[in-house]
Structure 1
Amino acid sequence: MAIVHFVNYKRGTQSRAAMRGVMCYVMQERKTAWEDGPLVSGINCQPQSVYDDFLNTKFLYHKDGGMMFYHMVQSFPKGAAVDPRQAHEAARRLAEYFDGCEVLVCTHVDWEHIHSHCVINSVNFETGKKLHMAKEQLQELMRRNDMICQEMGLPVFEPTAQQARGMSGAEYHTALKGQSWKLRLMNAIDACMKYATDKDAFVSLMESEGYQVRWESSRKYITYTTPDGLKCRDNKLHEEKYCKEAMEYEFRIRAELVKRKLRRAAKIDGGIEADESAEQCAVANSADDPAHCDPVRSAAGDEQIYGAG
């Protein structure tokens, strides 16, 4: 059966922009594309308007703060013959555990193992109560996951695999179509940088793909650990844009662009809707860049890259 885990987000790091970034990341067409169309669906919401659906529920109950969302990943063994549509249905059935909550369900097929991301609104649209995942709820969720997988006849992890650290048995294969593990790491960094609003959001997105990131102010380098336990420092990734200093500079630029748009929106409209629109715009435009930006190019041409007037 599948392994389930929740991506950790540090207290105080979740925001509207972070929530939108995670949604855009998990809904990427190149990750979810399958025969009959993208493996993307919503429970109690529509994928096309999921961000607005989440926010409207929060506004309705005046709970637009604190924990904004939960990010759950359901993973199957690498190399196992899992039909992506079955995996998506298993994730949908598991998402129904969060009764009354809006859940975005996206199944990724770009790795050698199938895995599904579930982004869960922290506010219940029926009761207005905030979702809290205590130990008892987590145990019940795991039991339900096992039951669903057994009913659907889905593959089971080997006992030794479940003792693995990090992603447990759902370790992510480090090569795809002949790419080396280091190139695979660079591709993962690029993908996460396109949707991350800040360092904490970047680290969380990398974790959702099975990577561990050690990024500390007291250390000169960022150290990555792949799902298979291979370690690599940022200065070994061949390009300057992957170095700690360059990435920190990139995030400072993004933060300044968000502030600039918020100030402009406040002058024009002065409303919540204007602020929200500005924040969305800054993140959306940065995500449209084909790779995370060269910080020098960003500083020189941020008007063009991010659409800042």
Structure 2
Amino acid sequence: MAITKIHAVKVRLGDAINYIENPDKTDGQELISGYNTAPQTAVLDFSITAAMARKARNTSVKKQGNLAYHLIQSFSPDDAVTPELAHKLGRKLAMEFTDGKFEFVVATHINKDSIHNHIIINAVSFYDYKKLRTVPYRTAQQIRSISDRLCMEAQLSVIKDPQQLGQLYPTYVQKKRTTSNRTEVRKKLNFCLERATNYAQFLQMAQELGISVCQRGKHMTYLLDGAGRAIRDTSLADTDKFTYTGLMERLEDNAAEQLFIRERIAKILPNVSTFADFAKLMQSEGVKIRVKKQSGQLLYKAADLDGTWVPADALGDGFTLAGLENTIKNKSENLDTNHSTPIAELYQKLTTNYPQSCDTSVRLTSRQICSAGKRGVLLQIHDSSGNPAKLMIDNNHIHTTPDGSVSADIGADFSYDITYDDGTHGTIRGTDLIRQIDEENLTQPLIVSLTADQIMAMSLRGVTVHLPQYHIERLFIPERYVQRNVEHGSCAISLYPGWQYSYVPIGSEKTRKSISGAELAQSLGGVVQVGTSENSLARRVANVERCAGIANAQELGKLLGSMADNGLHSAADFDKQIRAYQREEMKLRNEIAELRSKSKTYEAAAHSLQVCHTYKSVWLEFTSKPLALKDTFYKQNEAALQTYSRAASQLDGMGISQLVEPEKIQRLISETENRITELVAELEKVQNADNGIQEDKERVKQIQSNEINGTYSAFSRA
């Protein structure tokens, strides 16, 4: 496995690139390559992209921020990695981390015992002129996860015998970790930086949240009330986010974004009659809207600017969900810009308290484990749509038993990063991951019988449980986990000990909470029955079963009609249609991937056109110089001439004339992105249709199986 780390390049970008391109360390510069840039002119290319971004966003050089990011990937001396393989892995790491939207240079150093890559990534994207956003520690973890997976796929430091995991990974003890002072400071500062638009406002907010801010020399320090000592800015993040320069850059961005959003809202508000109209018109004005389900918090994002989410409360009470709905209802055009809720109260209300430990242990089998390495285990899983993906579980969360079985500790409330075969990323909730693994491994659930007092409602969709003794207002169990016995008039449910079940608590607070399957089973078994009528439960069970029979008969009629229309007579006939859907799905995926590749090519072309327009005058002056003066002029303008020459060569290779305006290419990019959006929606429809016919096939197989066994199917009970 490889060790990775990243830090920001704030000044002297040329020195950093010259260091990594040292011929003595890179086999005479044979182990150097660039993406959308030549290593020799990377400094100039990076600066051109940054200048174009400033022009597009109308910002000044003073608030330029980070110039680049320096990523290091160091391989173990024990790994059988060649310089060429290391360089290939470095390029893959940079490409996947940046999604191909940022220029970078990769240099592989072989002058030490351990081969290592130096990767310098432009801080500004040539694709959309947005900055490379990093999150403290999370970015480093993301890079490490990508690197680990690439190393495992390349068979570096792979453990052949999973039982050896017990020797490498200490048994993970589920301990609740208290939130550190550094984490608490970071959370509160981020909360302030989502709202403040100037330095004085930021200081005031931080003070109200119990943080004293002090500037000492070139460093900022932050002291949390009750803490022993202050924390330096550079120890809070792997970027300059909490330094004075980083703060001022973010505050200026906030001011521009909030002004932009206010102006757009004032423009469209007189023309809306519902909140849905408001959201649609805001989208057309370049502002996205999002409402958090649990808290009801409204967020705005100006896509054409910095692209960060702005909480509505930062703009004023009138810009929140409740404020907007009231304004639209009363047909008022003036929004309340006051902030009636103190920042400390807002923080307590809106801040998510993230779980501090992985609370569920699940057994892993060969169905999930692709390979195991020194850093963890690579799992083959599926996302919520059934698409195959890979997931890396860190070694700290892996342990084995003496008999060689492997288990993973998973946080039900966590979100895990997954990677698809095409290199794109997604996420899966911990609770969904636990359920998927348990069902694949046929984990046996707990069967719990319900009493009439415990059942609030019973329908074809499932059972709603009511446990006032445990402050559970209602908890829904889907039909697939319900077993009814009409003959005995009883009802039971299947509960998995490690699963988390969501419920609405009793009281005015309707924010959902969760309870583990083991705790729920214990609660259900411990309820004392008072005056319960089992005959009543028997009648409810029988009634639901009768309804199920009628519904199943109706569904069967629709299914048989659909089969007749499509010439399907048995479960095997479904396979042809399923294969057709799968071919269509693959075709759409390939077309989407091709268009995304073209979009990136068009962006590179637009960048090259802009470079040619910028430096063509220098090139024409060079060509017009007498032969005796050419050498001197070339030495004086070497970087600009090389950059122009390379950009012109790229355009020639693409068959694009330098006379083409970059705006035309940008329009082509916009059209391509719109087409990609259409294809993604079409792909989702095909996937839904495929899932539907898969379900129909299973129903037909069940019916045929029941007929062969001489039994009546569930459909015939009607």
**TM-score of the pair, normalised by structure 2:** 0.20
Bigger radius of gyration among the two? 2
Bigger fraction of residues in strand? 2
**TM-score of the pair, normalised by structure 1:** 0.46
Higher relative contact order (CA 8 A, sep 6+): 1
